[in-house]
DNA sequence: CTTGACTATGTAATTATTTACATAGTAAAC
DNA sequence: GTTTACTATGTAAATAATTACATAGTCAAG
């Protein structure tokens, strides 16, 4: 049940459900995702549990925003989650399972197409991450250890994001070469 | 609903539910996991859908095994899944979300402990992957492009596994250095 | 003046996943 | 001889997550 805690983390800085969704899509895309249909009910649960308070605000566009703030109880819940140690769930990357079974396609052209599709997807994903990091670098051009807390820890996850996606793009490229060498 | 297709993939070589579980834990640990309580009901569904057939066999230890085999319909279902293109679900790594919010702990020692715990976990995980790969290399010492299909594609996923976990271990190590520089 | 893109919040139904429980045989160590 | 570790199969209950649906306001382009 990590979503609950992630929402508390995000809401250290007050936001609406819709804002939170944008955060998942842009900043967290490398390690977490959630739909609005998950976010809204969870925000309600947390509010009922007195971990969040709501405050309505007019929006620039569209209907009123409901801005959620963390209560001290909410902050304490977040801290306890962090103190409980790293939560290490099993990764689920269906495309790697597909790659594993690619031998079940008897047409080599189809196998190549699969890997090329994958490479393209991974490159697009990489681009989003790089954009986010460049944005952050514009605001804070220092070496990372000089950043203030609110930027240092997010920056750590971006560092891994770039490494991880880099490894995947490299791998997909190499796999395509290997596959071509087999044709 | 990927588990269904992953089971069909695994059962290109007949196995029992228990054998499948070991496969997830050992070979697939880098990209998929499933509990026995997910595997058994799913095997039943696939059998009811005529995608699998069962055959009982005595076990070396414990009660009889139920060996599952794929039917032509099952094979076709698997091929269609592969032809539908890469399935790219969003990653969910709670420990990276925790890292992102680590600034909410005001004790720097606790933050360091968190990252050290994580590094230890990632190293252990890496070791499992390397063990599996060394095992595979013993059987097939060739360059990967010379491997037969049944080994070539699984080997591709291992190649990424090693890269990925390598990147994570590197990152955790670097993060600890950066954190120490901040203390 | 209407369509499309985007902001904004939510519910309902279905599916998937996890956790806990329940059973039972083998085989070696103590 | 009994505890521990492992093999082997499953069910039940609770949670979590996805997908589809439903509503409504703003604003710009055509």
CB contact under 8 A, A170 and B149: no
Find the distance separating the first CA and the last CA of chain A, reported in whole Å: 46
| Among the four given CATH numbers 3.60.15.10, 1.10.10.10, 3.30.70.2860, 3.90.850.10, the one describing domain A2-83 | 1.10.10.10
The three-state DSSP-derived secondary structure of chain B is CHHHHHHHHHCCCCECHHHHHHHHHHCCCCCCCCCHHHHHHHHHHHHHCCCEEEEEECCCCCCCEEEEEECHHHHHHHHHHHHCCCCCCCCCCHHHHHHHCHHHCCCHHHHHHHHHHHHHHHHHHHHHHHHHHHHHHHHCCCCHHHCCHHHHHHHHHHHHHHHHHHHHHHHHHHHHHHHHHHC
CA within 13 Å, CB half, A132: 24
pLDDT, one tens digit per residue, over B20-30 is 999 998 889 88
Nearest to A123 by CA among A177, A165, A157, A81: A165
pLDDT, one tens digit per residue, over A4-36 is 999 999 999 999 999 999 999 888 988 999 999
The position carrying tokens 């697939």 is B28
CB contact under 8 A, B98 and A90: no
Chain B residues close to A79, C-beta within 8 Å: 104-105
Q: Which residue of A has its CA nearest to B179?
A: A145
pLDDT, one tens digit per residue, over B55-84 is 988 888 878 899 999 999 999 999 999 999
The position carrying tokens 């005595």 is B58
Covered bases, chain D (protein CB within 7 Å): 6-13, 15-21, 24-27
**How far apart are the C-alpha atoms of A69 and A53, rounded to whole Å?**
5
Q: Chain B: nearest CA to A49, how far in angstroms? A: 20
pLDDT of residue B77: 94
**How far apart are the C-alpha atoms of A25 and A13, rounded to whole Å?**
17
Query: Which residue out of A12, A24, A51, A91 would a mutagenesis test of the B interface target, given it has the greatest number of B Cβ atoms within 10 Å?
Result: A91
For chain A, what percent of residues have pLDDT higher than 90? 64
pLDDT of residue B53: 95
pLDDT of residue B142: 60
Q: What is the mean pLDDT of residues B112-125?
A: 90
Q: Which residue of B has its CA nearest to A100?
A: B154
CB contact under 8 A, A86 and B118: yes
For chain B, what percent of residues have pLDDT higher than 70? 97
CB contact under 8 A, B159 and A174: yes
The position carrying tokens 């579980």 is B21
**How far apart are the C-alpha atoms of B45 and B47, rounded to whole Å?**
5
* CA atom of A138 to C1′ atom of C24, Å: 64
Q: Do residues A41 and A7 touch, judged by C-beta distance below 8 A?
A: no
Reported confidence tier of residue B150, pLDDT bands at 50, 70, 90 = confident
Q: Which helix or strand (DSSP H or E) is residue A79 part of? A: helix A72-83
Covered bases, chain C (protein CB within 7 Å): 6-13, 15-21, 24-27
CB atoms within 10 A of CB A148: 10
CB contact under 8 A, B93 and A32: yes
Minimum mean pLDDT among A54-68, B40-54, B154-168: which range? A54-68
Mean pLDDT (chain B, rounded):
89
The position carrying tokens 């058994």 is B40
**In chain A, where are the structural domains located?**
2-83, 94-182
**How far apart are the C-alpha atoms of B133 and B137, rounded to whole Å?**
6
* Strand C lies under 7 A from the Cβ of residue A65: yes
pLDDT of residue B61: 80
CB atoms within 10 A of CB A103: 18
pLDDT of residue B4: 93
pLDDT of residue A77: 94
Q: What is the mean pLDDT of residues A144-153?
A: 84
Q: Is it the case that residue B156 has pLDDT exceeding 60?
A: yes
């Amino acid at each position: 049940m990590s979503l609950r805690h992630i929402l508390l983390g995000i809401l250290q800085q007050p936001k609406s459900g819709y804002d939170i969704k944008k955060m998942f899509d842009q900043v967290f895309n490398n390690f977490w995702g959630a739909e609005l249909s998950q976010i809204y009910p969870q925000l309600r649960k947390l509010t009922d549990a007195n971990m969040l308070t709501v405050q309505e605000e007019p929006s620039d566009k569209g209907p009123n925003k409901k801005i959620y703030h963390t209560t001290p109880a909410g902050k304490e819940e977040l801290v306890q989650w962090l103190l409980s140690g790293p939560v290490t769930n099993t990764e689920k990357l269906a495309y790697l399972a597909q790659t594993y079974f690619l031998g079940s396609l008897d047409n080599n052209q189809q196998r190549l197409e699969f890997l090329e599709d994958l490479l393209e997807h991974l490159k697009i994903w990489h681009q989003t991450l790089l954009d986010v990091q460049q944005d952050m670098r514009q605001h804070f051009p220092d070496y990372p250890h000089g950043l203030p807390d609110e930027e240092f820890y997010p920056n750590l996850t971006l560092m891994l994001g770039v490494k991880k996606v880099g490894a995947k793009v490299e791998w997909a490229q190499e796999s395509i070469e290997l596959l071509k060498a087999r044709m």
